[in-house]
Copies of this chain bind each other. A is one copy, B any other.
Amino acid sequence: MNDKILLAHGSGGKLAHDLITKNFITALDNEILIRMDDAAVFTASGRMAFTTDSYVVSPIFFPGGDIGRLAVCGTINDLSTSGAKPFYLSLAFIIEEGFAINDLQQIIASIKTTADEAGVKIVTGDTKVVNRGCADKIFINTAGIGVIPDGVNISGSNAQPGDKVIITGTIGDHGIAVLSQREGLGFTTQLKSDVAPLGKMVAHMLEVSRNIHSLRDPTRGGLASTLNELAQQSEVSIRIEENKIPVRDEVNGGCEMLGLDPLYVANEGKMVVIVVPEDARGVLKALQQNVYGKNAAIIGEVITGRPGRVVMKTTLGSSRIIDMLVGEPLPRIC
């Protein structure tokens, strides 16, 4: 019985206490978490960023990552979209009774590795266990806190006509890697999820330019939905060029087999950057020096035109309207 999660592991009693002290506190070791109070306490000042996401990806282990790495990266990247330096994360599990403790330990180890890579600390947490059949294996929520450097003012509302649009690398890797694993398809044995913490890459961009207007990570809904959101929020049009968008052959192949468009497939290690034109080259160069930005490309620009409209010049030379995702071709991708 010791190798499975029991309802009592979520009871607030002895087993819960043991699980937390032996597995979580030890593995995630830091001076704030170890106090074991109900709230973490730290000192901070200035403009803070605060965000949350729940992670329900299936399968929980996939090529290039797992739900633990995803849960750290997703929230770090959301903080980074405000230009914030990420500092602290909370970590909350909802676990199905019977879940293997070995798998939980592997997920926690992955959380620790990713948090260390990103320079963030897990400072508070929670564990709930639900009866068998009331959840699918494990769901994770993280919330995050970061501090925004002075002079940085980044928002989805700030894009202006003339700005350049950059994508920090190939699109669709995460979605197709997860789908490939889930469906047991063999076509993408080389493909890995791009799941990565982008805080340091964003900090590097901000050293190069203080004129970045918008940042957003194109997760659910993909690049197309993110560009639509930004165009709506900023009340501008965006024009992109299909032949400038980096897409791996495996992703194109997978999308063809599955009837998907890479523009709508989730990414977990990419950022859309909207920046004044005079800084675009410098930001691109900075990105390309970063391990997670080496395939970055300028893919279009912000233009005047109908607010919220995204247009793509196709490889054939025609133009087509790129709408927001409708429906859900890829449930539980993150």
Residues of A whose CB lies within 8 Å of any CB of B are 6-8, 10-17, 35-56, 58, 78-79, 81-82, 84, 88, 90-94, 123-126, 128-131, 133-136, 139, 141, 143-146, 148, 155-157, 216-217, 219-222, 225, 229, 233, 264, 266, 323-328, 330-332
B residues near A36, Cβ cutoff 8 Å: 156, 229, 233
Q: CA of A140 to CA of B79 in the docked complex: distance in angstroms? A: 21
Residue contact B88 to A50, C-beta cutoff 8 Å: yes
Q: CA of A53 to CA of B220 in the docked complex: distance in angstroms? A: 24
Which residue of B is nearest A77, CB measured?
B38
Residue contact B39 to A50, C-beta cutoff 8 Å: yes
Which residue of B is nearest A133, CB measured?
B133
Known interface pairs A50-B90, A220-B16; A39-B130 also in contact (CB < 8 Å): no
Residue contact B37 to A42, C-beta cutoff 8 Å: no
Residue contact B136 to A52, C-beta cutoff 8 Å: no
B residues near A37, Cβ cutoff 8 Å: 81-82, 155-157, 233
Which residue of B is nearest A126, CB measured?
B53
B residues near A330, Cβ cutoff 8 Å: 11
Known interface pairs A38-B78, A135-B136, A155-B35; A13-B141 also in contact (CB < 8 Å): no
Which residue of B is nearest A87, CB measured?
B50
Among B7, B50, B94, B332, contact of A139 (Cβ-Cβ < 8 Å): B94
Q: Give A267 Cβ to nearest chain B Cβ, in Å.
A: 11
Among B10, B58, B90, contact of A51 (Cβ-Cβ < 8 Å): B90
B residues near A56, Cβ cutoff 8 Å: 94, 128, 130, 134-135
Q: CA of A221 to CA of B20 in the docked complex: distance in angstroms? A: 15
Residue contact B51 to A17, C-beta cutoff 8 Å: no
